[in-house]
Structure 1
Amino acid sequence: MGSRILPRRVRGFLTCWGVYMDVDDKFSEKLARMVKSSFTLSVVDMLPEWAEYQLRYLKRHRKLCNFRDPQRLSEKLHHRMRYPLPHFSRLADKVLVRDYIRDTVGDRFNVPLYAAMEVVTASQFECLPDSFVMKTNNSSGAVKIVSDKSREDMEQLAALSNAWLRDDFSRRRGERHYKAIRPQVLFEQALLTANGPPADYKIHVFNPVEGDSYLFIQVINGRFGRMTQNLFSADWQELPFRLGETLPPSIDTGITRAPAELAEMLDVARRLAQPFGYCRVDMYVFEGRIYVGEITFTPGAGAFKLYPAEWDLKLGALFRWPELPLSAITLEAIGRGRHFHDAVNELG
């Protein structure tokens, strides 16, 4: 993006860290609209790395990202996407993270695992129970609940699984740490109630440089039907901000009432998130037990918006920065998984 393309009022300079520009609001809005209409993976593949991430941020937040000195939560998440630390890959891997969960809070918080496969054939389903959940270890959204496998076509399930395995999720939204995860399909116990899957408690944990951690809970319900979202503080009060603006809140008392296991859920989330400036710990409560589904370092690929917008900066201030080196003990616990595909160098 040189001076021949951008108007004179855009002042910029390029560094190895990316682009920092002073752009007026009207031009940012205009440029964001142009990006939104033409931003595809085929276009991304033609861009230099710094331009790709600036345009990703611009499309989502209608401003340019300060990669040199990120202050907002959205900026720090995009910095992580662009410059991931190696342990992000290990802990975003839904297979390997089970070791970290076991060693940090106990194996009882892991969802029972039947199998994890790098290639899936129809015959392998014979070894699975009648009901299970199948999902990938290296992506979001690739999940299928099988409540009765006798009603399923095993060849189609195998084809679906292998299609998931061929997909490079890291390219979809620019989350580079997913590139270093060896793709597998997990088959877990199906946590099903009479109304379907239990609510998803997404606990956001912020660890500032000084002071206590700040936590809030995002409750997603009805994931495979009419989806709702409710936000609560750690003491189960309403929050002064909203996360996105598309999902309606639930009025179901089973969602609006604090779960009996809340204190333990918060303790588990704090312990798992302790080494990091920020992460999101996803949990379920099923038959009175807490299960950890995953740990996420770049929720929603940093695309979600906070309202009022000032909370992007407020939460960013609670996100310890720069990222701190992990202790040798923590690195040992994270690195115990034996199936980690050491592809960090592929990230460039």
Structure 2
Amino acid sequence: MFSNAPRNIKKLLFSSLPDSIFYQYHHIRNHKSLCNFKKPQSFSEKIYHRMRYPSPEFSILADKVLVREYIKEKVGEKYLVPAFFSCKNVTTKTFDNLPNTFVMKANHSAGQVKIVTNKLNENLESLASLANSWLISDFSSVQREKHYQYIKPQIIFEHALLTNGNPPADYKFNVFNSSETTDPYIFIQYMQDRFGAITQNLFLEDWSPAPFTRAGQKQSKMLIQKPKVLEEMIVVAKKLSENYGYLRVDFYLHNDNIYIGELTLTPAAGNYTFTPERYNDILGSKFGWPE
């Protein structure tokens, strides 16, 4: 279906598909099965349901500007990446108010991030143009993660957490809450070199290797040390996710400090695939439902 169509034609065809076909096409393509929207059971089905029928608060949690207040209230301001300011339009003058090194990102999307290590080496007109192109983009239409649709676009400028010019590794805590258990189930994605030859290793809450992997993801063969502040990260992740059946809390460690990068409700647009495949169902059973 559509596999031989030119890319621009394919994009147009996808954008015109009704939800009932759009989501089913993607679920079949990635998970080899129809998505049960009436009684979602697997991890992917529950994420797809969130994408199609999002709760209003999802837009706040996914907004990289507004979520800062939620994080501050739940766990404290110290876990926020220090920010300079946010704005709804960027000009070359905008950069006059920033240091030479900073991070520029869109608040209403995923992946629209630019690390500026020295603004003196940047073409500021091009940088402003990039930011403004993000502001007019509709990320919610890409995979129909509809909660992004209700976020008012802004550009936020943050301190760059760099070591020798490189960003820190990612610790992504996938937290599952269920009424059937008192303690959440957690698996952690440890990701290195996310802007290069990315690797991803999965661990459980006690830092033992997870009994599953993400299909198609390269793993590091190096020994990965348990972070000294793992227990604190677990406490923070549980607190932030306590009202949801599932939430992914993304952390960075920099100079022995814990920072929260973002909160994620629909990771990979519902297209995490696991080896063994049965973990799509196993994790789905740990995902509290209905929310």
Task: Please give the TM-score of this superposition, normalised by the length of structure 2.
Answer: 0.96
Aligned position for 1:150: 120
The residue correspondences of 1:3-14 to structure 2 (distance < 5 A) are: none
CA distance in 1, matches of 2:222, 2:104: 28
Shift of 1:231: 0.5
Aligned position for 1:311: 279
What are the superposed Cα offsets for residues 57-114 of structure 1, whole Å, 9 maximum, x if unpaired? 1222221111110000000000000000000001000000000000000000000001
Change beyond 3 A, Cα 1:148–1:306 = same
What are the superposed Cα offsets for residues 12-50 of structure 1, whole Å, 9 maximum, x if unpaired? xxxxxxxxxxxxxxxxxxxxxx35555933112322221
Change beyond 3 A, Cα 1:36–1:214 = farther
Change beyond 3 A, Cα 1:37–1:68 = farther
Shift of 1:249: 1.5
CA distance in 1, matches of 2:145, 2:16: 17
What are the superposed Cα offsets for residues 166-224 of structure 1, whole Å, 9 maximum, x if unpaired? 11000001101000000111100000012610000000000012212000110111012
Aligned position for 1:222: 193
CA distance in 1, matches of 2:11, 2:44: 21
CA distance in 2, matches of 1:173, 1:188: 27
CA distance in 2, matches of 1:152, 1:49: 42
CA distance in 2, matches of 1:190, 1:260: 22
Aligned position for 1:279: 247
Task: From the CA coordinates, give the structure whose radius of gyration is larger.
Answer: 1
CA distance in 2, matches of 1:200, 1:240: 20
Change beyond 3 A, Cα 1:156–1:113 = same
The residue correspondences of 1:122-161 to structure 2 (distance < 5 A) are: 122-161=92-131
Aligned position for 1:103: 73
Shift of 1:226: 1.5
Q: Does 1:79 align with 2:57?
A: no
Conserved? CA contact 1:73–1:316, under 8 Å: yes
Conserved? CA contact 1:35–1:55, under 8 Å: no
Task: Please give the TM-score of this superposition, normalised by the length of structure 1.
Answer: 0.80
CA distance in 2, matches of 1:35, 1:56: 12
CA distance in 1, matches of 2:247, 2:131: 28
Q: Does 1:234 align with 2:211?
A: no
**Which residue of 242, 250, 260 corresponds with 2:228?**
260
Conserved? CA contact 2:170–2:251, under 8 Å: yes
Aligned position for 1:188: 158
Conserved? CA contact 2:117–2:165, under 8 Å: no
Opposite residue 153 of structure 1, the aligned amino acid is: N
Aligned position for 1:164: 134
Shift of 1:252: 3.8
**Which residue of 30, 42, 48 corresponds with 2:12?**
42
The residue correspondences of 1:330-341 to structure 2 (distance < 5 A) are: none
What are the superposed Cα offsets for residues 225-268 of structure 1, whole Å, 9 maximum, x if unpaired? 221101101000011111121x3222344xx1101010000110
CA distance in 2, matches of 1:201, 1:320: 23
Aligned position for 1:297: 265
Aligned position for 1:197: 167
Opposite residue 184 of structure 2, the aligned amino acid is: S
Conserved? CA contact 1:203–1:282, under 8 Å: yes
Change beyond 3 A, Cα 1:281–1:36 = farther
Runs of 4+ off more than 6 Å: none
Q: Alignment RMSD, CA only?
A: 1.3
Structure 1 unaligned regions, length at least 5: 1-33, 324-348
Opposite residue 144 of structure 1, the aligned amino acid is: K
What are the superposed Cα offsets for residues 259-310 of structure 1, whole Å, 9 maximum, x if unpaired? 1010000110000000000010000000010000101000000112011111
Conserved? CA contact 1:41–1:172, under 8 Å: no
Opposite residue 56 of structure 2, the aligned amino acid is: P
Aligned position for 1:15: none
Shift of 1:51: 1.5
Shift of 1:54: 1.4
